Structures are given as structure tokens and as C-alpha cells.
A and B are shown apart, each in its own frame.
Chain A
Amino acid sequence: MFLSRFTSDRRLFPYTLVLPTAIVMLIVVLYPLIYNFILAFKNMSMYHFQDSTFVGFRQFAEVFGQRELYWVFGKTVVWTVVNVFFHVTIGVTIALILNGRIYGGGIFRSLLILPWAVPQYISALTWKGMFNHEYGSVNLILMKVFHHAPIPWFSDATWAFVAPIITNVWLGFPFMMIVALGGLQSIPHELYEAADLDGAGALGKLRNVTIPLLRPILAPAVVLGTIWTFNNMNVIWLVTGGGLPADKTHILVTYIYKAAFTYYRYSYAAAFSVIVFFLLLGFVFASMRYFKITESAFE
């Protein structure tokens, strides 16, 4: 049988498994990427929209020449780290609680994924309304329940950065919760029992059993979550109404968006994207090495 060779030959079988994915990915991913890499070395802009020429590294030089971008980069890192940290801690905590004996666990699980299920556009705008200085429910609750002075969410640059972070933490934790819930299913009970016999406390079990065994499934989600958060400007853009106050709440991708869609500087935006791409590529390599997640169980 010709066909059965693919399922019984140790060398052929993995290629059979990977081939369809590889083909689909190659068709759709490669072209747009190459397109942008070429664009980054040209001068496509409004005045050279259909007649752009190659200009070498000029666009890259221009990106690196912008001083304020280093500050924005720092802010992007803060935005990413804070968001991912809360996504993971809140998500894993809830997953751990839900994994215990909980009455109505199914209902809780289904309700808690709602922030992920509702279209982002409307929830981001709703949060924006909730942060309103005078009428927003966040400030009203602060005033009436906690007797705290209202916070000027969108007049103060720091608070205006906190507001989208809160929104994005709310939007993002259900995803991590689900991944963690799934991951917890791979941990055999026997390991906890063994830890019990060794006299390990709750913290000890968390550190020695739960976290190491959750790692293979949670690490990819964290790495990808970091990439997505780094490149996600929708939430920050919608909640701060496009950079309130005074363009102080932008992250790196906002600059790309503005360059391409406000100023029509396509090549500049492409060069900028290429830089972001390599930044994230470096991050992925470093974190993969740290977490050792490419290593197979069979190596």
C-alpha cells in the first residue's frame, strides 16, 4: 500500500501531519510579509503612491531618528508587561478556584468568558463611558461607596493610561483563564496526592506541581499574549478617544497606524513595522529559550 507508508514510516509521518498547515500558512502569510519588507525600502507615500522607488535604509533611519519614540517604546513595554501580568495572574487564579469543587462551576465558567465573547468595539466604548469624570460609574462608585475624590481619567496623562489598561485586563483575562483551565486538566491527581504525603502545603503544591505542569500549555499563550498586547492598539485607541489627553496615551503601533492612515507614509510605516517585527522576534527567541518550550518530550 502506497498510502499506508505515510502512516507507518517514522520519517514520513511527521511531514504528512505538518504539510497542510505549512501550505496554508505559506500561501497567506508569505506574500503580505514580503510585500511589506520590500515596501520598507521604498518611498511610497501620498505623492509617490503609484510610482514609488527604492531608497535603501532611509525610512529606517527616520524611525530611529525620532527621539520621542524611545519614550513611547518604554510605555509600550509597560503597557504590555502590566497587561500580560494581570491577564495571567487573574486568569490562572480563577482557573485554580474553578478547578476545585465549586457549586455552579459551569455557570461561573460561562459567565466569566463574556468579556471575550462581546465584540470589543462596544465594550471598549462602554468602558470609556464608565470612566467619564462626572457621570461615569467608576467615579460615582468611588465617590459614593469609597468617599474618594473623582479621578480625572482623561485629563491626566497617567490615569488616561491606567484606564485602557483596566479595560484591557478585563478584556483579556478570560482567554488566559480558559487556557489555564484546559492546562490544569493535564495534571494527574496522583501528583497532588504524592505532594500531600510529602507534607507539602498549598503554596508548595502550587510551586512544585501546578506551575511546572501548567508551563507547557501556558507558556505559548503567554508568549503570544505578549505579542498581541504589544501590537494591540484598538483598546487604547477607543478608550482614550484616539490619544486623550493630548496624544499622551499612544503606544508604538499607534505611530504606524497614524503614519500609514493619517499621513499616507506607507513605506515609513512598513519600515517601522519591520522594526517592531524584529523587536518581537528577539523577544520570542529569548523567551522560548528561557521557557524551553520548543523542546519536544521525545528529545
Chain B
Amino acid sequence: MKSVRFLRVFLCVLAAVLAVPAVLYLAGGCAKKEEKGIAVWEQMDPEEQKLLDARIAVFQKTHPDVPITRLHFETELLRTQYQTAALAGGGPALVFGPSDQIGPFSVMKLVRPLDELFGAAFFAQFIEGSLDTLDGHIYAVPDQVGNHLALAYNKKFVKRPPATSDELIAFAKQNTVDENHDGVTDRYGLVFNAVEPFWLVPFLGGFGGWVMDKNNNPTLDSPAMTKALAFVRDLRIKYRVMPTECDYQQAETLFKEGKAAMIINGPWSWGGYISAGIDVGLTPIPRMSETGLWPTPMVSSKGYSVNVNCPEKKLPIVKELVDFLTSTENQVESATKIKMLPARKAAAESLLARGDPFLETSLAQVKLGRRMPVVPEMRAIWDSMRPSYQNVLNNEITPQEAANKMQKAAVEAITKMKE
């Protein structure tokens, strides 16, 4: 008899296992909570997230019947998760991210062209360089321009910003010191993420080169690339002003601990230096002494794109929300609170009138920079540059060889990608 009782328990568990999907199926079918609301997936920095939450709260006051939910992802995850969800016919109504993710999204037809929905008059309010077009269409409404690298320096060690690359090297040399003579360098002159080629690109431009031509073909095998590679290699091997192994976290740690005099990093990081107690100054990456050209960090915008799966009847409210989130007023607020550069003309003008030194330098650096290509080919180019760049920094191949290898790898990768 006892055995029958246990069998019943057993069958109950079995039934429970099978019932869960069934119950949830019914529950899900009845509720359909997502039908009404708008979901936003983003990859913002913590401070930006707080501002967004506040703005959503304001919007909810006038639109209480449309629940808006925000969901945070890390950049790479946002891209893959959105692809997965959108391909399966789901996903959020709005996806917020850097402009380079809309390249693949538009090719895969996962985001909707916005020209018609918003109209030309709407986009005319934005700074020209903040809008990216792919196949003649605009796929994102930007709320900021930026992502540009600039030179931050610790005023305790560097009294005035270097004006040329020669001065940059000289200042860096002065500040690379072993104070207690124990054989370990106590302070480095210059640090930056020397793993990712994103930090190499400013110098590539400084020697007059670029990553691709007008037709999106890679142009990595150039004299400019060879010189840029040699320049960074020399910082590390010849002048020894950089640590031998310097990735992003290492550079951040050294600068925040006051163990590095200068760092090349982007707008997302500057606030952190101030809160770490560093007396930090900001300047554009100095002009290259050899060419007289300014280095060209990549500039990109971030903005909101609309999911292709977003139903027609939701579009008006989605449009209203995007318009509100990227409004002049809100962009001015982001700029004053978290030093984010605005994408609207009106916002930029009102800010310039105020004279904030950080924003001014930041804006100056943006003007010296170049637009980051949003086409999908860019991913292949990054991936092709990385290994050879690292080889040069470890002094395993010459800059010339590296430039050659990068180009070959990039051409091959792009061909495969386009299959």
C-alpha cells in the first residue's frame, strides 16, 4: 500500500513538471501585458540610467496607461540579445545604443527606417554629424554625440597640457619615475588601453590615414598605419613611458591611484577620475609633431532605434517618447549633469554660451575627431587590426608587416561576412 502512496507522489511531481508550461501558457495568453507597454533596452552608464529613469517617470505622468520599462545590458550582450529577440519576432519597442550597432541591425532588417515616421523637419534639428545614414535611411534618433577619446592629465604632475606629440613624450618621460629605486616603476607618464585598436585610431588619423575609404574598403596597409603603430610601440618599448601590459582596467587603476600622469580615455571615464580625488585636466590629444595634423579619435552618437516588430498602432506613442527623451531640454540637462555632449543644435548652442571648460574641451576634441563608420564592415576591421597591433607592441613583427597583415585579414573577413 505504501508503494502506491509513493507512486502517487511520483505521479504528482510528474504532473507538476508537465503542468508548469501548460499553466504558464494559459496565464501568458490571458495577460498579454506586453501588448500595451513600451520596453526600452539600453547599455547606458550608471549615471545615464538614473537620468533616464527620472525622464521615464516624468513621461508616465502624462501617459499613465502606457507602462514603460527600462532594461539594462552590457553593450555586446545588448546586441546579441536584441538580435535573438527580434529575429524571433519579439524584443523591445526601442533599443538604445551606439551608432555602430545599427549597421548590422539595419542590414538584418531588425530596426525600422525612421525618415518617414519622424520626417525631415525633425531631423533638421540635429547636428549634422550626429545622424548616420545607411542606404539613404536614418535608423536612430541620437541623444548624444561623443565616445571620443581625449587626453586627461593629473594636474599634480603635469602643469600645462602638452601642445605637440613631442611634448607629450617629453612630459611622459619626466613622469615615468621609480621614486624609491626598487626597480618597480612607481609612476608612468602615459597610460591607455593598449589592447584595443580603438585607442590606436587617433594616431592613425594624426599621420594622415584612416581605416576605410568611401566605398567601405579597408585601407589599413598605409604609411600612416605603419607610423602610428611605430609611435605607440615606441611609447612602450623605446621611451618606456607605458607599462608593458596595459589593458583598460590597468590604465584606469593606475590613473585613479595617482600612479599615472596622463591617460587617454573617453567621456564615460572622466567623472570617475574626479570622484577618485584626482585633480584632472582635459585636453585634445596633442598635434603630431611630424605631420602637424591633429589626432582623430572616432566620434559616434548614441540613440534610440525602433524595432521592426513594434506594431503600427504603437508607433505614435513610441515617437512621442523618443522625441521627449531626446528633447533639447533633456540634452542640456545631460550635458550639465554628466558632461554628455548634445546632438541637438539648440542644446549645443545654449551650452556653448555657458562656458564649461570640460564641455568646451570635449566639444573641441569632437570637432577634431572623425565619424566612426557605422557599416558592419567596421567589426571585421577591428577584429583584423587587434592581433597584429598586439604583435607590434610585443615587438614580434615590424609595423610594416603588421599593416600588411591587417589589410589582408580585413579583406578576407569582409568577404566572408558578405557571403
Contacts and interface: CB of A to CB of B under 8 A. Distances in A.
Interface of A: 1, 3-4, 6-8, 16, 19-20, 23-24, 27, 43, 45-47, 49-50, 125, 129, 132-135, 152-156, 241, 243-248, 258, 261-265, 268
B108 interface: yes
Given A43-B419, A153-B245, A49 B380 contact: no
B394 A4 contact: no
A47 B419 contact: yes
Interface string B254-294: 00000000000000000000000000000000000000000
B244 A152 contact: yes
B388 to A, nearest CB: 7
Interface stretch (B13-21, B59-67, B227-235): B13-21
Given A45-B417, A47-B418, 16 more contacts: A7-B4, A46-B104, A50-B108, A50-B109, A125-B249, A129-B249, A135-B250, A152-B245, A243-B387, A245-B390, A246-B388, A247-B390, A263-B383, A264-B417, A265-B416, A265-B417
Given A1-B4, A7-B3, A134 B419 contact: no
B108 A46 contact: yes
Contacts of B185: 134
B7 A49 contact: no
Interface in B1-54: 3-4, 7-8, 10-11, 13-14, 17-18, 21
Contacts of B417: 45-46, 263-265
Interface in B167-188: 184-185
A50 B106 CA distance: 12
A132 B250 contact: yes
A4 B387 contact: no
Interface in B137-192: 184-185
16 contacts: A3-B4, A3-B7, A7-B3, A20-B17, A47-B107, A49-B87, A49-B107, A49-B108, A50-B109, A134-B244, A155-B394, A244-B247, A247-B386, A247-B390, A262-B383, A265-B419
A38 B254 CA distance: 50
A46 B396 CA distance: 35
A24 B17 CA distance: 8
Contact of B379 (A16, A241, A243, A262): A262
B149 to A, nearest CB: 19
A258 B384 CA distance: 12
A45 B413 CA distance: 13
B379 A263 contact: yes
Given A155-B394, A263-B416, A49 B109 contact: yes
Interface string B385-405: 011101100101000000000
Contact of A50 (B87, B245, B396): B87
B342 interface: no
Nearest to A24: B17
B209 interface: no
Contacts of B303: none
B414 to A, nearest CB: 9
Contacts of A8: 3
Interface of B: 3-4, 7-8, 10-11, 13-14, 17-18, 21, 76, 79-80, 87, 104, 107-110, 184-185, 195, 243-245, 247, 249-250, 376, 379-380, 383, 386-388, 390-391, 394, 396, 413, 416-419
A247 B87 contact: no
A104 to B, nearest CB: 37
A154 B17 contact: no
B379 A155 contact: no
A4 B250 CA distance: 67
Contact of A134 (B21, B107, B243): B243
A263 B376 CA distance: 9
B245 A261 contact: no
A3 B11 CA distance: 10
A16 B388 CA distance: 59
Nearest to B394: A155
A132 B245 contact: yes
Contact of A46 (B14, B250, B376): B376
Contacts of B387: 243, 246-248
A206 B3 CA distance: 41
B195 A241 contact: yes
Contacts of B4: 1, 3-4, 7
Q: Which of B108, B376, B380, B418 is packed against the most chain A CB atoms within 10 Å?
A: B108
A245 B391 contact: yes
Nearest to B388: A246
Contacts of A153: 245
Contacts of B108: 46, 49-50, 264
Given A133-B244, A134-B243, A20 B7 contact: no
Q: Which of A19, A156, A263 is packed against the most chain B CB atoms within 10 Å?
A: A263
A8 B7 CA distance: 11
A153 B388 CA distance: 18
A246 B402 CA distance: 11
A264 B245 contact: no
Contacts of A132: 245, 250
Contacts of A129: 249
Nearest to B376: A46
A134 B245 contact: yes
B87 A23 contact: no
B419 A45 contact: yes
Contacts of B390: 244-247
